[in-house]
Amino acid sequence: MKQGTLYVVSTPIGNLEDITLRALRILRETDFIAAEDTRRTKILLNNYNIKKPLISYYSYNRFSRKEKVLGLLEAGKNVALVSDAGTPGISDPGYLLIKDAIERNLPVMAIPGPTAFITALVISGKPTDKFVFEGFLSNKSSRRRAKLSCLKNEKRTIVLYESCHRLVKLLEDICCVMGDVELVVARELTKKFEEIKRERTKVLIEHFSAVKPRGEFIVII
């Protein structure tokens, strides 16, 4: 029996027009779509009049749903893997599904497109020839500071992700470990309320302490 293909499909990080023609074709032709958040994926699919069976696949059900998706692939069904936004596998549970599909010798194909941290990096004004992506640091301050201490003498541009709930704490830890350095903080990229701030750490701490952060942030050091 011919095996199905796992298509790793990049979707818009904000503006729904930021999707490729190839991605739309794959989403229309595939048998199933494994989505991190089916509600958000339905918005995209409805916008382009795409109707396909959705499988919920996210952090808390990844182990049980992983076997279901792998079973479909082994049965010859094609599955598109999508994240909440951007490229699956980057700081999301899609990585595990991709890894297991490869280990079972199932075909895996990337459908490239937007990625939030790359979008932020290229408009940050910081060096892009060499950089290190660290994703989300620990939610515990002691571990976060320990990691920042390891990165303190890093010569490359550092790119981090952070939630709105921990942004100020992260900025305070950066200030404590690295000093009042110049940062770029970005959120809601390509959306109506896109926000990019290029300021020193203390200014950002003061701003986001007064104005409640919303959304997910990219922090560039």
Q: Is 61's pLDDT higher than 90? A: no
**Beta-carbon contacts of residue 20 (< 8 Å; ≥ 6 apart):** 10, 111, 112, 113
* Structure confidence by residue, pLDDT tens digits, 91-139: 888 899 999 999 999 999 999 999 999 999 999 999 999 999 999 999 9
8 A C-beta contact, residue 49 and residue 24: no
Which domains does the chain carry? 6-111 (3.40.1010.10), 116-220 (3.30.950.10)
pLDDT score for 92 = 85
Please tell me the pTM assigned to this model: 0.91
Give the DSSP per-residue string, 159-216.
EEEEETTTHHHHHHHHHHHH-S-EEEEEESTTSTT-EEEEEEHHHHHHHHHHS---SE
